[in-house]
Chain A
Amino acid sequence: KAGVTQTPRYLIKTRGQQVTLSCSPISGHRSVSWYQQTPGQGLQFLFEYFSETQRNKGNFPGRFSGRQFSNSRSEMNVSTLELGDSALYLCASSDLAGSSYEQYFGPGTRLTVT
């Protein structure tokens, strides 16, 4: 099976702009979780989607949003970008048949905000 894919891999945006990142999960996986990774804060959970519904959300401002499509692909959007949003954004997919939280990660999207 193909792994989790994320596009684009690298992105440079200007403060105040918005950005959309895409994640395609492993075939058959219906849960997609998003994480932000920064040197200062480490890996932090953003949100999780399952069957097109957001089931859980981390402690991030409303500028961070996401959605999931019927084919389980997911997008996350960040509006009004701030310098502090520069990070590696990782998505992970899971087959929740066993509710195991075993997650498989994509390579990430490196977002730089200038």
Chain B
Amino acid sequence: AQSVTQPDIHITVSEGASLELRCNYSYGATPYLFWYVQSPGQGLQLLLKYFSGDTLVQGIKGFEAEFKRSQSSFNLRKPSVHWSDAAEYFCAVGAHGSSNTGKLIFGQGTTLQVKP
């Protein structure tokens, strides 16, 4: 069965510092990979996605993520964090096949706190 693990439940970084949020997945093939962000009381906003090709993908708000097949990882990075980046971040996997249609599997989320 597919699964997604975000090892860090909570991360605190200083404004202007770099950020890396970890995501590991379990799936037999290369899945579709996503990062979403959720502000309190809001829905999820898609930051970036990986389907195939270049393993380094760029997203909105200055975020990027790197797919590493050998490590089954899809870590999210940002070189300089802004106070407005404080939110909860979710990594998600979309598996292939008719039995998985329309279904994303999410990690438990990482809450990012930004110190001034």
Residues of A participating in the B interface, judged by any CB pair closer than 8 Å: 4, 6, 31, 33, 35, 42-43, 45, 48-50, 55-56, 58, 90, 92, 94, 96, 100-108, 110
Contacts and interface: CB of A to CB of B under 8 A. Distances in A.
Given A43-B106, A56-B100, A102 B90 contact: no
B42 A107 contact: yes
Contacts of A55: 98, 101-102
Nearest to A98: B51
Interface footprint category on B: 20 to 34
Contacts of A43: 90, 104, 106, 109
Contacts of B108: 42
A101 B94 contact: yes
B51 A90 contact: no
A56 B99 contact: yes
Given A105-B36, A107-B43, A33 B109 contact: no
- Per CB-CB distance, the 10 closest pairs between chain A and chain B, nearest first, are A48-B102, A101-B94, A43-B106, A105-B43, A105-B44, A107-B43, A33-B102, A45-B103, A42-B108, A56-B101
Interface in B69-116: 90, 94, 98-109
A105 B45 contact: yes
B34 interface: yes
A58 B103 contact: yes
A48 B102 CA distance: 6
A102 B103 contact: no
Which residue of B45, B102, B106 has the most chain A CB atoms within 10 A of its CB atom?
B102
Given A4-B43, A104-B46, A105-B45, A45 B32 contact: no
Given A45-B103, A105-B43, 12 more contacts: A42-B109, A43-B104, A50-B101, A56-B102, A96-B102, A100-B51, A101-B94, A101-B104, A103-B104, A105-B45, A107-B43, A108-B42
7 contacts: A33-B102, A56-B102, A92-B44, A102-B46, A105-B36, A105-B46, A107-B43
